[in-house]
Structure 1
Amino acid sequence: MSIGTSQLLESLKWRYATKKFDPNQVIPESKWEALSESLLLTPSSYGLQPWKFLVITNPEIKAQLKPVSWNQSQVTDCSHFVVFTIKKNLTTDHVDSFIKRTAEVRGVAPESLSGYRNIIVSDVVNGPRSLTVNEWATRQVYIALGNFMTAAALVGVDTCPMEGIEPANYDKVLELPTKGYATVVACAAGYRASDDKYAELAKVRFPISDVIETLA
């Protein structure tokens, strides 16, 4: 199952980091359900999914987040505001939950996955990676961000990735410390305002020969 190459490239050329959203346009529910699935289907190392995505449509919560987002209007004007968080300090409990879910989905006994489970634990929980596991989880979250933005472009939804935020203050507003999660990045989604001057600017990229090298 595939789409045409021209459709793919047209969608990627169409998208840009939207600076001004139309606050009166809301993403239809059916389209948002598909974008939610795109987040769910994001690949992650070991399949561990060390994250949670907070989808904010409540105007009051958006208003609280705006001051800790460099007062950027995208936060309050977009249709759906997604906060990408990591599950901090992964433990064997998370790994075991993942193994249990895998067994349920694939119809196998959890015991048959014990070898895989032990490999994950020996790496992420007890191995050298455990010393930087939150940084590792953060890199996984950026896979989700890219996947989400591409999916949005393919269905005609505008996005703006936002690192111009104060993660620690996001955590406070969203009461994340008590839940074991931490903010990494956010992404506004919705529809561009008709007068967003950035929509018509040409994309600036280095020549493809400078950034892609084929070793055949």
Structure 2
Amino acid sequence: MESIDALKWRYAAKKFDPEKLLPSEKVEVLKRAFNLTATSYGLQPLKLMVVQNKEIQEKLMKASYHQKQVNTASHVLVICIERSVNKAFIENYFKTVQDIRETPDEILHPFKESLIGDFEQKPVDEVKIWATHQAYLVLGTLLTVCAAEKIDSCPMEGFQPNEYDRILELEKYGLEAVLVLPVGYRADDDFFASLKKVRRPLEETIIEL
């Protein structure tokens, strides 16, 4: 039940304590959790930008419809997708597979060529949607790990992606911002922290066959 208790404890923090910073070992856990998240085909078409800079956070807050969580959080995690998942990207993934697992090329080659062919035929918008779906998988992992580690968080879609891209200069990394996760420690006077969690009854959300 420890996992369930952690998820009950978790809520979308409305107010962070700006004086309480995450220790480096907690940030390291979140970075590793990001990197270990399952993604389609294992391709990881994502990168995580970890922001701990109040001047930048202030700019990002303005690009987040002035939601205070962004500039009061200890760190702001920006989940980004790769602008291009092309032949070179896929070949690099399979090279990593070979380096780590020492899998013979004759075994990997058919799957590699199939993936390359599939992605070359997909419209750019379709690949972007696919990559964004992977970002939501990552967000779910990070929220769960935050709960287990007693790190407060606030998942956010309400921001201006183009402004984030500009402020963080994501174009030079070949990235686009798709999700934002401020993390830190809840403020003592965050009214929402003490409210009971509201969920539909279990019997209304689970179907057993």
Match of 2:163 among 166, 169, 173: 169
TM-score, L = length of structure 1: 0.92
- Report how many aligned residue pairs link the two structures: 209
In the alignment, residue 29 of structure 2 is paired with which amino acid?
A
Q: 1:27 to 1:131 in 2, by over 3 A?
A: closer
Contact residue 26 and residue 190 of structure 1 kept, 8 A:
yes
Q: 1:21 to 1:28 in 2, by over 3 A?
A: same
| Counterpart-to-counterpart distance in 2, 1:130 and 1:65 | 27
1:1-216 to 2 correspondences below 5 Å: 6-123=1-118, 125-128=119-122, 132-215=126-209
Structure 1 residues not aligned, in runs of 5+: 1-5
| Counterpart-to-counterpart distance in 1, 2:47 and 2:11 | 25
| Counterpart-to-counterpart distance in 1, 2:123 and 2:133 | 13
TM-score, L = length of structure 2: 0.95
Deviation at 1:161, TM superposition (A): 0.4
Identity across the alignment (%): 38
Deviation at 1:111, TM superposition (A): 4.8
| Secondary structure class of the residue paired with 2:59 | helix
Deviation at 1:107, TM superposition (A): 2.2
RMSD: 1.4
- Report the equivalent of 1:3: none
In the alignment, residue 151 of structure 1 is paired with which amino acid?
V
In the alignment, residue 193 of structure 1 is paired with which amino acid?
A
> After TM superposition, what 4+ stretches of structure 1 lie above 6 angstroms from structure 2?
none
| Secondary structure class of the residue paired with 1:162 | coil
Contact residue 87 and residue 120 of structure 2 kept, 8 A:
no
Deviation at 1:109, TM superposition (A): 3.9
Partner deviation per Cα, 1:82-137 (whole Å, 9 max, x = no partner) = 011110231011101111111111123445411121122122x1234765000010
| Counterpart-to-counterpart distance in 2, 1:177 and 1:212 | 42
Q: 1:12 to 1:25 in 2, by over 3 A?
A: same
| Secondary structure class of the residue paired with 1:145 | helix
Structure 2 residues not aligned, in runs of 5+: none
